[in-house]
């Protein structure tokens, strides 16, 4: 399909890694192996460069997550989750294992005045009360009319559905 999937591993310490993804997660993608991750205490998955995933990619991902979920001492963090990744987290059991949390996500916004779409990455802790916090906290955008058009900016995603994973993770912790 579009771009070949790959990942970059950054070792923060002997038992801590950040894995950054790029490209299209499909049946041709190679994910990190369970064996390469089994001895870690902290693991961050950065989805910033991967916005597309198909059903085969979801299946491979859930298989890896089910293995990692068995590692009781492993803390997993998801960063920079785009809406399609959030959809999978909300819809697919096991996409976000019980020992994982979403740290940051992209909020889709639309300026009705400029007729432009925007996405801004926000920490989940900053928008936990609701996605509308992302609009209130905007500082600047790639918009010739900002901040004057702030009142015309609306969410371009369903707030309750987008953050529904928070209810599930809250119940299990």
pLDDT digits (tens, 9 = 90+) for 36-79: 999 999 999 999 999 889 999 999 999 999 999 999 999 999 99
- pLDDT grade for 170, boundaries at 50, 70 and 90: low
Note whether 63 and 69 are within 8 A (CB). no
- Please say which residue of 72, 102, 132 terminates a domain: 102
Q: Could you tell me the sign of the dihedral formed by the alpha carbons of 165, 166, 171, 173, in that order?
A: positive
Least Cα distance to 4 among 19, 24, 20 occurs for: 24
Whether residue 170 lies inside any domain: the answer is: no
Place of tokens 């609306």: 154
In a shared domain, residues 151 and 82: no
CATH (domain of 7): 3.30.750.24
Residue range 128-148: average pLDDT?
77
Q: What is the pLDDT of residue 1?
A: 43
List strand residue ranges (DSSP E) for the chain, in order.
6-13, 16-25, 42-53, 75-79, 100-102, 104-111, 116-123, 153-155
- 160 vs 120, which has greater pLDDT? 120
Place of tokens 């989805």: 47
In a shared domain, residues 28 and 57: yes
In a shared domain, residues 98 and 140: no
In a shared domain, residues 94 and 119: no
In a shared domain, residues 36 and 94: yes
What's the mean pLDDT when you consider all of the chain? 89
In a shared domain, residues 120 and 144: yes
pTM: 0.89
Phi then psi for 55, rounded to 5 degrees? -60, -35
The Cβ of residue 2 has, within 10 Å, a number of other Cβ atoms equal to 9
**Residue 92 DSSP one-character state:** S
- 63 vs 160, which has greater pLDDT? 63
Whether residue 163 lies inside any domain: the answer is: no
- 127 vs 41, which has greater pLDDT? 41
- The vertex-154 CA angle with 100 and 133, nearest 5°, equals 45
Q: Which domain holds residue 32?
A: 1-102
Place of tokens 């991967």: 50
Count the domains in the chain: 2
């Amino acid at each position: 399909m579009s771009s070949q999937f790959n990942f970059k591993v950054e070792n923060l310490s002997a038992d801590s890694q950040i894995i950054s993804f790029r490209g299209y997660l499909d049946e041709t993608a190679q994910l990190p192996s369970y064996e390469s991750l089994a001895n870690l205490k902290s693991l961050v998955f950065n989805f910033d460069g991967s916005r597309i995933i198909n059903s085969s990619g979801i299946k491979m991902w859930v298989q890896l997550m089910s293995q990692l979920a068995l590692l009781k001492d492993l803390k997993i963090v998801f960063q920079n989750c785009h809406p399609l990744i959030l959809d999978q987290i909300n819809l697919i059991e096991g996409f976000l294992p019980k020992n994982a949390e979403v740290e940051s996500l992209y909020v889709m916004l639309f300026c009705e005045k400029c007729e432009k779409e925007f996405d801004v990455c926000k920490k989940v802790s900053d928008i936990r009360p609701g996605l509308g916090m992302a609009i209130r906290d905007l500082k600047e955008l790639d918009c010739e009319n900002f901040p004057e058009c702030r009142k015309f900016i609306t969410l371009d995603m369903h707030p309750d559905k987008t953050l529904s994973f928070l209810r599930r993770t809250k119940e299990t912790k």
